[in-house]
Amino acid sequence: MKLRSLTIKKATEGLKQKKFSSVELTKACLEKIKKLNPTLNAFISVCEEEALKDARKADKAMQNGNTSPLLGIPIALKDLFLTKGIRTTAGSKVLENYVPPFDATVVKKLKDAGAVIIGKTNCDAWAHGSSGENSDFGPTKNPWNTDYVPGGSSSGSAVAVASDMCTASTGTDTGGSIRLPASFCNVVGLKPTYGRVSRYGIVAMASSLDSIGHFTKTVEDAALLLSITAGNDSMDATTPQKQVPDYPKSLNRKPRELMLGIPKEYFLTGIDPEIKELTTKALSVLRVSNYHTQEISLPHTEYANACYYIIQPAEVSSNLARYDGIRYGFRRETFGDEAKRRIMLGTYTLSSGYYDAYYKKAMKVRTLITRDFDEAFKIVDAIIAPVSPTPAWKIGEKIDDPLKMYLSDIFTVTANLAGIPGLSIPIGFTKNGLPVGIQILGPQFAEETLFEIGKAFEEATQNETWRKRKP
Binning the chain into helix, strand and coil, the percentages to the nearest 5 are: 45, 15, 40
Handedness of CA 40, 44, 50, 54 (dihedral sign): negative
Task: Measure the CA–CA gap between 334 and 204, rounded to whole angstroms.
Answer: 18
For 40-90, the DSSP string reads H--EEEE-HHHHHHHHHHHHHHHHTT---TTTT-EEEEETTB-BTTB---T
Note if 318 is an active site residue.
no
Task: Measure the CA–CA gap between 90 and 92, rounded to whole angstroms.
Answer: 5
CA of 105: how far to CAs of 13, 78, 212, 228, in Å? Answer: 27, 14, 11, 11
Please state the three-class secondary structure of 333-395 as a single string.
HHCCHHHHHHHHHHHHHHCCCCHHHHHHHHHHHHHHHHHHHHHHCCCCCEEEEECCCCCCCEC
Question: Which residue out of 27, 32, 78, 191 is catalytically annotated?
Answer: 78
Task: Measure the CA–CA gap between 101 and 80, rounded to whole angstroms.
Answer: 14
Question: Which residue out of 92, 130, 131, 153 is catalytically annotated?
Answer: 153
CA of 176: how far to CAs of 190, 348, 434, in Å? Answer: 10, 24, 18
The DSSP bridge pattern shows strands 74-78 and 258-263 to be unpaired
> What is the distance in angstroms between the CA of the first residue and the CA of the last residue of the chain?
18
Number of Cβ atoms within 10 Å of the Cβ of 256: 12
Question: Which residue out of 131, 177, 408, 424 is catalytically annotated?
Answer: 177
Contact call for residues 374 and 367 (beta carbons, < 8 A): no
Note if 57 is an active site residue.
no
Task: Measure the CA–CA gap between 158 and 177, rounded to whole angstroms.
Answer: 10
Question: Which alpha helices (DSSP H) does 172-241 contain, by range?
Answer: 179-185, 219-229
Task: Measure the CA–CA gap between 293 and 244, rounded to whole angstroms.
Answer: 29
CA-based nearest residue to 26, from 10, 48, 2: 48
Task: Measure the CA–CA gap between 86 and 46, rounded to whole angstroms.
Answer: 10
Contact call for residues 36 and 78 (beta carbons, < 8 A): no
Helix (H, G, I), strand (E, B) or coil at 16: helix
Sequence letter at residue 398: K
Note if 93 is an active site residue.
no
Catalytic positions are 78, 153, 177
